[in-house]
Every structure is written in structure tokens, then in C-alpha cells.
A = this chain, B = another copy of it.
Amino acid sequence: MIFLCDKTKLQDSISIGQKAITGKTTMPILEGIYIEATQNTVTLIGSDKDVSIETKMEADVLEAGKIVVDAKIFGEIIRKLPNSEVRIETLENNGIQITCEKSVFNLIYMNADEFPSLPNINENMILTVPQSLLKNMIKGTSFAIAQDETRPILQGILFEVKDSYLNLVALDGYRLALRSELVETTNAISAVIPGKTLNEVAKILDDNEDKVNITFTPNHILFNLGQTKVISRLLEGEFIKYNSLLPQEYKLLITVNKQELQNGIERASLMAKEGNSNLIKLDIEEDNMIITSNSQLGKVREEVSINLQGEQVQIAFNSKYLLDVLKNMDQDEVVMELTSSISPCVIKNKESSNCKYLVLPVRLVK
């Protein structure tokens, strides 16, 4: 194998492939990055047991071939090279030589045949969305996936296509995050994708209107970004029927400036952090929300202007759960729907229905 390519392009491609290489595998080959040179194209693949990322780049291929090299050291070497043309050539004795200007590196390589092959997926794409939109939907839900491993299905994000909407849903025992966007498809799909995989996918997605094509198979999901494909296995099992968790009605409706509420809760949580309880109390009054918290260190009282429809109520939360939600919302005004001090709170954007967050309150001992 011999090819020449631009250093920066190679560095970018490695960085994409590396996102699948978690280093948590017991198979040494999966610590490597697969490199295959064919006519004018170099393909790089990084993989762990859940996800594979394949990316293609232009190169001047003088001799076709394929190898696997340790991704970490290879990535570090390429990154440190001058911004110039890089030549990569296999030698005898399982060695490759990397040459760039006056730098020459020799590395051992692994047998490319030992690298697990990608699942063979017939790309009958059923969904196309802008990359930035998908990126926001993933970031807006992935914080809510379950951290403990007792219910593996909850470590995933539900990808649901229904009634021309794409819904992403994540939940643990304490909160639920739902993002919805209108899409141009009449298909119906329901699949659960490992949350960690999706976070890596989000990092590769651009903040622009470029499209990502999505294909589902019974066991896999494929994101096709053009030069780059991400293939993830699906989680087995049934996701929780999230619709039944969302309250159908409410008694109080609070409209509030998102940033003011977030700032108030952030300050209050400085006191709530002590002892890791994160407990803050909200007194919902006519025109104000009073946020209070106490700890050994002292106490805090914050006042946030609100518009209230309904009766006054007192309710307590883990401040972290409210902050996770507010940090992931991007409109100026949010609404909170409440029923009582022991029923879930729903938080939505005031002006659009693209998200719905549910947070359970903490029951106060009277």
C-alpha cells in the first residue's frame, strides 16, 4: 500500500474514525484504525462493538492495500506533522513508513483481515434530516438517558418516526426528554440506539443544513453523511411507552423567562450542592417564583418574575434535573405545567412544540 495525501485531510478523517474507538474493548485490533487504499480513495474505519464509523477521503494512491494501525499513536503522529503532503507506505515485516517533509516515522501494523467487517446494509434510506437539526435533537435528549446499567434499554434513545414526526426520547426514573420535528416521510419506525453512540454521532454532525440520510434494519441504524457513514447496533427490547408518562392535563401554567429562571436556579443550587442533595424549593406565587435552598453553609432566596395561571403551590426539585432541561432549551420564554407538589412538572418552549421535558418533584416531608 502506498498513498500520498494532504496532512490536514488525513488528520480530520482520523479524528472522525477515532470517535468510534472507545478503548474499552478487549480486542486489540479494535484499538486500531482500519485504512484501505483503493483507486484515488482512502477509507478509514474505527469500530467498537456498538458502533462503526467509516469515512472516505481523496488520496493519490500509488499501490492499493489495507492495514490496521494503532489509532492513538497514528493520530498523534499525523497531528504533529507539518501542514504538507504525507506519504504512507507499507514496508516488509509488518511496518509502515510515514513521511512528511523531513520527518520519517516507522510503525508496526496489524493484519487488516482481523478487523471486523461492517454489517452489510442495504441503504433504503427512509429519512433525511438536516445535520444541525439532528445534532440539536440528540443533544436535547441524551442528557436524560439512564446512567445505571440495571435497565439497559434506558441507556438508549428512542428514535421514533410516526405520523410524519421524528421523535427522540430519553428517560430515566426521574425525568423524560422528548424532542419532535416534522419530517418528510410516511414510514413508521421505532428503534432504540445506544445513547453513547448517538453522542459520538452528534460530534461528527455539522452545524449546517447539509443532509444526513438515515436507514434502519432490524438490528442496525445507518447515518450516511456523504463521505462518512456511522453504523450503530440497536438496543434489544421494548422502550417504555413514554406517552403514558406524559400528563394529559395540568392545573397551573407558569410562563417565565428561561435565562432568568436558569440563573436563579444555578445560584440557588450553589447552596443545594452541599451534601449532594441538590434540593431546591419553589414557591409559586401570583407574579413570582421564590426559589430557596438551605444547607450547613447557609441559605439562599431567589425571586423570579413569572406569569401564573392557576393556584399557588409549593414544590421541590433536584436542581440538577431542572438545569439539565433549561440548558438544553434555546427559546426566550418557557412554560411549566404543574398539577400539585407531588405530580410531575412538564417544561416546554412557549412558542413551539418541538420539545417536552418532564421532571419529577422531590416529595417534601412536612
Instruction: List the interface of chain A (C-beta within 8 A of B).
Output: 70, 73, 76-77, 80-82, 95, 102-108, 263-264, 266-267, 270-271, 297-304
A103 & B302 in contact (Cβ 8 Å cutoff) = yes
- In the assembled complex, the CB of A107 is this many whole angstroms from the nearest CB of chain B, namely 4
Contact A270 B70 (CB under 8 A): no
Contact B73 A302 (CB under 8 A): no
Instruction: Indicate how many identical chains form the complex.
Output: 2
Residues of B within 8 Å of A80, CB to CB, are: 263, 266-267, 270
Q: Is the CB of B270 within 8 A of A300?
A: no
Minimal Cβ-Cβ distance residue in B for A299: B106
CA distance A76 to B77 in the complex (A): 41
Partner of A264, one of B77, B103, B266: B103
Q: Are B108 and A298 in contact (CB under 8 A)?
A: yes
Report A350 CB to chain B, min CB distance, Å: 21
Q: For A73, give the chain B residue with the smallest CB separation.
A: B297
Across-interface contacts of A77 in B (CB, < 8 A): 267, 270
Q: Once the chains bind, are B106 and A270 in contact (CB under 8 Å)? A: no
Q: Which residue in chain B gives the minimum CB-CB distance to A99? A: B301
Q: Report B-chain residues with C-beta under 8 Å of the C-beta of A73.
A: 270, 297-298
Distance, CA A73 to CA B70, complexed state (A): 45
Residues of B within 8 A of A81 (CB): 267
Partner of A298, one of B95, B102, B267, B302: B95
User: With A73-B270, A270-B73 in contact, is A298–B105 under 8 Å at CB?
Assistant: yes
- Nearest first, the 5 A-B pairs at minimum CB distance are A107-B298, A102-B303, A104-B301, A106-B298, A80-B267
The interface residues of chain B lying within 8 Å CB-to-CB of A102 are 264, 302-304
Complex alpha-carbon distance, A167 and B127, angstroms: 69
CB neighbours (8 Å) of A107 from chain B are 297-298
In the complex formed, the residue of B with least CB distance to A260 is B102
A145 CB, nearest partner CB in chain B, Å: 28
Task: Point out the residues of chain B lying under 8 angstroms from A103, CB to CB.
Answer: 264, 267, 300-303
Complex Cα–Cα for A300 and B81 (A): 12
Q: How far is A241 from B226 in the complex, measured between Cα atoms in Å?
A: 66
| A270 to B302 alpha-carbon distance, docked (Å) | 52
B264 touches A300 (CB 8 A): no
Please determine whether A76 and B303 come into contact, CB atoms closer than 8 angstroms. no
Residues of chain B contacted by A105 (CB below 8 angstroms) = 267, 271, 298-301
- Nearest residue in B to A303 (C-beta to C-beta)? B102
28 residue pairs from A and B, CB less than 8 Å apart: A70-B297, A73-B270, A73-B297, A73-B298, A76-B270, A77-B267, A80-B270, A81-B267, A82-B263, A95-B298, A102-B264, A102-B304, A103-B264, A103-B267, A103-B300, A103-B301, A103-B302, A104-B300, A104-B301, A105-B271, A105-B299, A105-B301, A106-B298, A106-B299, A106-B300, A107-B297, A107-B298, A108-B298
